[in-house]
Amino acid sequence: PSRDLLLHEALTGEMNLSELHFAENSHIADMKSLRNDFTRFMMLYKFAIDEVTTKISILQEEFSLVHDYNPIEHLSSRLKSPESIMAKVARLQCEPSFDNIRNTLHDIAGVRITCSFVSDTYKVFDMLTNQKDIRILEVKDYIKNPKENGYKSLHAILEVPVFMSTGVEPVKVEVQIRTIAMDFWASLEHKIYYKYNKDVPVALLDELKVAATTASQLDATMERLHDEVKQLDVDTTM
């Protein structure tokens, strides 16, 4: 069998090594080596997530100590499942080789940072991307330029070095930075989108758009109040 077919089997979980004792020895060796390669492939993305989340945790802790307030409300991450990887590969019609998957899929490793205020999203983005081992491959600023449906978030594809015993490997991580209000909206919109199987009634889409505007207004008000209170702090210490 071809390596691509094996890779497909490995990714979709159709490969069962225990049933292989009837197969040819060379085939078993191929499959085992492929399974090792695949484990290593996924591991790199897990380590890249670890690298980025550690960097963010450090910034979070240090920032709260120095500035007496925390720009990061919440941090979450996810590793794309082999099934989702294969589904996306099929959808994009790219050859299922490791190199192709690495070059085509930018969201195998995903990190989401939720901030209290809009200004913090940019602050956190700068603090993270100013680190010299991080390379920015792409930025999509859906905060400045919201999507048609009202979606807001700051997206970036970053590349971080992962140090393995065999050397250093650059690995892509998709980072999404948004406010609590944007996150609240996006979670519900995502749920509705899938509930209606991506075909949401127009009336509901309109209401979601209004809700997105309301969320933005809340963000603006909260930021202004926060600034005013910060100003008071400065005044009382003088």
Separation CA 63–CA 61 (nearest Å):
6
User: In this structure, what token pair is assigned to residue 22?
Assistant: 């009837």
Q: Least distance (Å) from ligand GTP to the CB of residue 161?
A: 23
Residues 124-143 that bind ligand GTP (CB under 6 A): 140
The catalytic residue among 61, 169, 174, 207 is 174
Report H helices in the chain: 3-12, 25-67, 82-92, 98-104, 118-129, 180-195, 202-237
| Nearest to ligand GTP of 32, 147 (CB atom) | 147
Residues 14-53 that bind ligand GTP (CB under 6 A): none
Alpha carbons within 13 angstroms on the beta-carbon side of residue 16 total 4
97 binds ligand GTP (CB under 6 A): no
Q: Strand 135-141: give its sheet, edge to edge.
A: 72-79, 109-115, 167-179, 154-164, 135-141
- Cβ neighbours of 16 (radius 10 Å): 9
151 binds ligand GTP (CB under 6 A): yes
Per the annotation, the verdict on 174 as an active-site residue is: yes
- Helix (H/G/I), strand (E/B), else coil: 76: strand
From 128-136, 184-192, 203-211, 226-234, span contacting ligand GTP (CB under 6 A): 184-192
Question: Are the C-beta atoms of residues 92 and 101 closer than 8 Å to each other?
Answer: no
| Nearest to ligand GTP of 20, 157 (CB atom) | 157
Q: Least distance (Å) from ligand GTP to the CB of residue 170?
A: 19
Q: Least distance (Å) from ligand GTP to the CB of residue 43?
A: 22
Q: Least distance (Å) from ligand GTP to the CB of residue 158?
A: 13
Separation CA 106–CA 45 (nearest Å):
11
147 binds ligand GTP (CB under 6 A): yes
107 binds ligand GTP (CB under 6 A): yes
Separation CA 114–CA 116 (nearest Å):
7
Q: How many residues belong to the site for ligand GTP (CB under 6 A)?
A: 10
- Cβ neighbours of 120 (radius 10 Å): 23
Q: Least distance (Å) from ligand GTP to the CB of residue 182?
A: 10
Q: Which residues bind ligand GTP (CB under 6 A)?
A: 107, 140, 147, 149, 151, 155, 176, 186, 189-190
Active-site residue numbers?
174
